[in-house]
Amino acid sequence: MKNTLIFIIAIVIAGGSGFTLQKYLNQKQKITNPAIGNQRPEFAAMDLDGKLRNIKEWDGKLILLNFWATWCPPCKKEIPAFIELQKAYGDQGFQIIGVAIDNAEAVAEYAEQIDMNYPSLLAEADGIGLGKRFGNGIGVLPYTVIINREGEISDTIRGELSKIETENLLDKHGINL
């Protein structure tokens, strides 16, 4: 009985801490990220087909670069909207690219399950360092970077992005909604 009570108290404290951290991170996203305005870093990673892909491949497009993982509930919540947006606006030069901070098997299984229609690159643990190069100094997931057609980082978003928020970003960059 005593152990059960201690366990319940620990769960409540952990949940409250997580909620507080999320509120803090959401407030912090209003602070300008020093990566904004900089040229996007170059990198290459394997896609789900085992092909090495370089970010330069999508130069000239409006890129939504999304750092995510299959074990991250907010990441998985935003992906269906990304699939819809890629389908709706891809012909206007919009490209979503996932950067999975996860193992290849889990990512491939999830991508097939939800019929992901945009490339997801496998960064595994190296994705944390890559995220830092794109302004994610504290390793938050999901983390999204908007790269304009000139290759500059124009926006960074810590935490989950809704479809409406993403459409507002697209509109800001000239994608006709």
User: Model confidence over 58-82: pLDDT tens digits?
Assistant: 999 999 999 999 999 999 999 999 9
Expressed as residue numbers, the domain containing 6 is 1-31
Residue 142: asked if its preceding bond is cis (omega within 30°), the reply is yes
pLDDT band at 15 (very low <50, low <70, confident <90, very high): very low
Predicted local confidence at residue 177, as pLDDT: 76
Shared domain for 108 and 131, answered yes or no, is yes
pLDDT tens-digit map of 148-162: 999 999 999 999 999
| CA distances for 11 relative to 16, 17, 22, angstroms | 8, 10, 16
Of residues 70 and 2, more confidently modeled? 70
**Separation CA 165–CA 177 (nearest Å):** 13
Which of the two residues, 16 and 50, has the higher pLDDT score? Answer: 50
Report if residue 177 sits inside a domain: no
pLDDT at 34: 80
In a domain, 79, yes or no: yes
Same domain, 145 and 81: yes
Q: Would you say residue 63 lies in a domain? A: yes
Name every residue whose Cβ is closer than 8 Å to that of residue 175 and which is 6 or more positions away in sequence: 62, 89, 92, 93, 94
The reply to whether 50 and 72 lie within a common domain is yes
Residues 67 and 134 in one domain: yes
pLDDT band at residue 25 using 50, 70 and 90 as cut-offs: low
Same domain, 105 and 21: no
Rg (CA), the chain: 17
Indicate if 130 and 117 belong to the same structural domain. yes
Q: What percent of the chain has pLDDT over 90?
A: 75
Pairing of strands 94-100, 62-68: parallel
